[in-house]
Structure 1
Amino acid sequence: MDKLFAKKWFIKLSSIVIAVMLFLMVNLDNANNQPGGIPGITEGSRTMEDVPLNIYYDEEAYVLTDAPETVQVTLRGPETALTRSQILQGQQELYIDLEDREAGVHYERVQFRGYPNDVRVSVVPMSVRIEIQERQTSSFPVEVEIVNEGEIEEGYVVGTPTVEPSTVDVTAASGVLEQVASARVTVDLAERSQAFTDSVAVELYDSNGRLLEVNASPPAVEVTVPITSPNKEVPVRVGRNGALPEGLAIDSLTVVPEMVTIFGPVDIINGITFIDVPSIDLDDIEGDTQIEVDVPVPEGVERVEPEQVTVDIETTTEEERVFSDFEIELEGQAPDQLIFFDSPLNGELDLVINGSPDILERLERSNLRAYINVEGLEPGEYNLPIQFSGPQNIRFAQMGQTVEIIVSDEENEQALAPSVETNDATNPEDELEDEEETDAGEEDEAPSEEGNEDQTSANNTVTNDS
């Protein structure tokens, strides 16, 4: 016996026998409950709810319209087989095969595969009702439904939305397609103040406005909604720097377009009456010229259209025209302020205007002004520059010329009167000579005055922008 225990194989065999005996002892009760069964091998069952049911059919020709999505499955068999079935669950399937069937209603028995051979499979229900219909495709125009349009700011205008693509395809059973009445997208304008483009899901509705569980192709479309800010047109003004070369005059200066459109809040654009573009440097002009200039965007304005304008300048040879005995006006004179001209004594000058022949021909006295500013001057003598104003595209030859005046009030009028009278007095001999010269001048200048009268009577078409 001692020799047997010394053998390794005997020890291993003894260990196996003891292990089997212990196993049989533990499972003795289960064995007694299964007459004729082999000890250690037990039967069991497992029930699974909501097991997916796959339906196979010709998806290119038909649409599945009615079928259960899940069934109940009960598995029975040895515990080892049930355990193995659970491990292989990903390879198991419950299905209905309608690949060779036509459109209509079919009652089919549920089939299964992938389960161990020693497992019994029970399906509830065993047979199911399935309906397939012919697949059809129809196109529907996409309608845009706008909500919260009343919440956009005052003065903003919502334009007509555009959709890309403008139609969608719906593929479904013929019976389902008959229910589709419209394809819609919904756009919310809350807190919107400018044009925008969004990708919006397409929804399908029946004639009663109920949402249908049907998909469109494509499922979403690009919707562009134009929103126009409050706007108005204002004129464009062009300033000038420097002067044209000697002998050259501007015949016309036009801005194309003359008006631009400004967009922005109502309270901002209502306060804007014109837009000044960058001034043109006349020193660089040598002839007819076209200049592109950017239109600035005033503060608070969203945008200006167009963003650029063209300044078209046409030039010609400069000529001269004289308006004789042109009165120098007093600007800013107070009611109690007395003004006496010392030089020139009569407060008049021969006003010399340079410009193009066409502009000079249309020019009238009423278009021109020569004045000095006497506002707030205390009594005394002053040498003041003459200021000129008139239509654009002309040049005042006497620009920079000055006049001498005496300012007085009612208290100082008597003190200044003698000097003024002395200045205005004339010598009798000089007076006789003046009368002779005047008579001669009237005879010599008669034709000239007639010519000037023709020029000054021409209609004025030049706008005074000063």
Structure 2
Amino acid sequence: MDKFVESSWFVRIVALFLAVLLYISVNFDDFKLIQKADNSSQENSEVITDIPVQAYYDTENLFVSGMPDKVKVEVKGPKSIVESTKRLRDFELFVDLTNVSIGEHRVPIQHKQFSDKLEVIVHPETVNVMIEEKVSDYFVVSPEFNDNMLAEGYQEEAVSVDPKRVKVTGSKAALNRIVYVKATLDVKEKVDKETTGTAKVQVLDREFNKLDVKVEPETVQVSISVKNPSKKIALKVFPKGTPPKGVTVMSVKPEIDEITIYGKESVLKQMEQLVVPVEVHDIKKDTTLTVPIEVGEGLNFVSPQMVKVKVTVEGSPESEPEKESGE
């Protein structure tokens, strides 16, 4: 064994083994890079959504309808290029109508600025468009508001819009179909004060179908003012409950004869008086009570909210007979 260790062959084998280890350690990073390159070259497919489509045409004299707002595109190719394309979105989808005549046409959606290593499929691949002579006119905007969003007892006083007119551009046929140009104020909380918000202008035909036209400006400011109608009515009170035995309630009289109620006009018109009960089951002598005035349905406020009521009685509570001892 000692002779083998000391032999030249043993030295050569050890030297070869060490050389192999050194080679592997030096070139390990290169192996990883090669593996990474192999992975990046793997084929991959991704669908990119919500891609706008640009239309090229004579915008001064022509109007194009039927263009989709957004489409999706499928890209296939090396994984690294696919992922970069999806992340950067540095490409363009477009429809070239520069040499297309007036009328209805089916045209392809084209693309540019994609890597030539990618296969690109647009969904849909073609669109139907209508090219017509461009016309413009001004229309008055009708502001609207949902009455269900009014706070209890409040009602709409006035609704205004700024600007009052908008410019509508489209085909002559589309403008001839316009019946409604309106802007609806959308609120998230009940309205009990003057409120202003931004509303999108809608252009509709007789059947309330949205027309394919351009509106300038696209949004307007809608303001709503509300009112809280009020009315003075008579206040009446009556005793409720039974006083202690021996006590008789002679009268209950509030310190005021009128109160002011606030609420919907339709409710106020039907009310001439408000009758309030006064609890007397514990009254043993002449007393002045503070009685709350409760708001009924269709009302949202009453003034005053508390009323003093004088209760006049006769007699005194009868004493309970004493119990004999042993009972």
Q: Please tell me whether Structure 1 or Structure 2 has the larger radius of gyration of its CA atoms.
A: 1
TM-score, normalised on structure 1?
A: 0.34
Higher strand share: 2
TM-score, normalised on structure 2?
A: 0.45
